[in-house]
Structure 1
């Protein structure tokens, strides 16, 4: 057999190893021996042998039969390797290994890490927003104002960039208070506005409507935000 044929033949006989597992197996509490054992079990399953014995595992590894038994026992005990019961066509029950617990634990780990990253980013944004608020108000925020800001982010799920935008609108309007900012955020949420681009478009829409009214009658004197005089009507 030629060299290129040998390479192709070998490359076709492989076990798929998720990159996430290689990156995070130590965080799952797995040792290298346990990781390789799981990969061998997956290989056996792919070959149609769903319940390889410790002896068969040891034949493929540098571990003894006794060590493989201990590895399998620990994997099952820590719920990284599952045992399932199946029945054949004759109704005879037999046991199989399942790597589903491993994949579920890996998924939960990644999901938890991503959540922690988002929480960290959210706290950093909240801190910047807090500083911006104090800068615009020219004073420290009161405990109630700080709690309101946290509620906008945590409970109302307002994006920090939208709170920045609402703060800007309040500054422009000369109505720099939390009640007015809250009303802007409430109207945006009610109208399904999720981004600063949508907020800008929504503002321009009302600005154009107000301009049309002014062309038809005497302008009504207001200290509202350009494009936010609709807030005065509620």
Structure 2
């Protein structure tokens, strides 16, 4: 291959396009023509022309100048593209396109998808929570007990994982009641417990305090209380 051709390719420069943009452009409201137009604007900016004319852009595309102008206005109105003003060192005002709004829209889409995923996970955890409680209690929960669960989730903002851990702690202690579980959750919240690991450590500390020897026999004092691993399913 002619070395001059390779040199010309390198001198023409390249534009970097995030894979996420190719994956999500439809979700954020772009079609293929609008995406291609944005790519050409990026290319012009990369080559030093920050404000290409509709004529210049249309020359590279299969749309005419009028349609290109319409598409540019649409991209600005839909906040995928913005026109910014600047001033050169010799005091001359100029305009340039900015692709920053496109990245903001893409980031907003990713944030929205994460919130939707988190909400779906939370709803699954909450539904699963009622099932676990009914399994442990061996019966359907009463309306008052369902209200208590809803209060822990909605009013107190308790993590379903911590509620499960408190339930297991109550099972371990042989005190399976909503009042006892509520007491555990209250103490954890007061002590700043927010993760399953912190809850596990609180349980260990509580059991260590509770296993004081009641008789003087050395063999009695050597007995230990079984450890319940909340991390196991």
Unaligned runs of 5+ in 2: 217-224, 227-233
In the alignment, what sits opposite 1:28? Answer: 28
Q: What is the match of residue 165 of structure 2?
A: 165
- In structure 1, C-alpha distance between the alignment counterparts of 2:11 and 2:33, rounded to whole Å: 23
Looking at structure 2, the residues matched to 104 and 58 of structure 1 have their Cα atoms a distance apart, in angstroms, of 26
- After TM superposition, the structure 1 = structure 2 runs for residues 1-234 of structure 1, keeping only pairs within 5 Å, are 2=2, 6=6, 9-10=9-10, 13-211=13-211, 213-214=212-213
Report the 3-state secondary structure (helix = DSSP H, G, I; strand = E; otherwise coil) of the residue aligned with 1:214.
coil
Whole-Å Cα distance in 2 between the matches of residues 140 and 12 of structure 1?
71
Cα distance, 1:103–1:155 mapped onto 2, change above 3 Å: farther
**Deviates further, 27-36 or 42-51:** 42-51
3-state DSSP of counterpart to 1:127: helix
* Deviation larger for 196-205 or 16-25: 196-205
C-alpha deviation, 1:50, in angstroms: 1.2
- Supply the distance in 2 between the matched residues of 1:11 and 1:113 (Cα, whole angstroms): 39
Q: Quick one: distance in 1 between partners of 2:210 and 2:162?
A: 23
Q: Could you tell me how far apart the structure 2 residues matched to 1:189 and 1:8 are? A: 65
TM-score, normalised to structure 2, is 0.81
CA RMSD in angstroms, aligned pairs only: 2.8
Question: Structure 1: which 5+ residue stretches go unaligned?
Answer: 218-225, 228-234
Secondary structure in 2 matching 1:94? strand
| Equivalent-residue separation in structure 2 for 1:76 and 1:21 (angstroms) | 18
Relative to structure 1, the CA distance from residue 138 to residue 216 in structure 2 (aligned partners, 3 Å threshold; closer, same or farther) is closer
TM-score (norm 1): 0.81
CA distance in 1, matches of 2:183, 2:8: 66
Deviation at 1:104, TM superposition (A): 0.9
2:96 counterpart SS class: strand
Q: Which deviates more, 117-126 or 167-176? A: 167-176
CA distance in 2, matches of 1:92, 1:8: 32
Give 1:121 deviation, angstroms. Answer: 0.9
**SS of equivalent to 1:84:** strand
Find the aligned partners of 1:131 and 1:12 in 2 and give their Cα distance: 62
Secondary structure, counterpart of 2:94 in structure 1: strand
